[in-house]
Amino acid sequence: MRVTGFLTAALASAWIVAGAASGAAAMGSAKPGNNDADFTSAQEAVDAGRYADAIEHLKQAVAKRDDNADYYNLLGFASRKIGDFENAFAYYEKALSLEPDHKAAHEYIGEAYLETGKLAEAESHLARLDKICTFGCAEYTELKERIAAYKATH
Q: For residues 81 and 101, what is the distance between their CA atoms, to the nearest angstrom?
A: 23
Which residues, in sequence order, are CB contacts of 140 under 8 Å at separation 6+? 103, 107, 126, 129, 130, 132, 133
Tell me the average pLDDT across 74-98: 98
- Domain 25-153 of CATH type 1.25.40.10: yes
User: At residue 17, does pLDDT exceed 90?
Assistant: no
pLDDT value for 35 = 73
pLDDT value for 11 = 34
Q: Give the pLDDT band of residue 33 (cuts 50, 70, 90).
A: low
Is the entire prediction scored with pTM above 0.85? no
Spatial contact of 65 and 82, defined as CB atoms under 8 Å apart:
no
Could you tell me the residue ranges of all domains in the chain? 25-153
pLDDT value for 52 = 97
One-letter-per-residue 3-state SS of 82-132: CCCHHHHHHHHHHHHHHCCCCHHHHHHHHHHHHHCCCHHHHHHHHHHHHHH
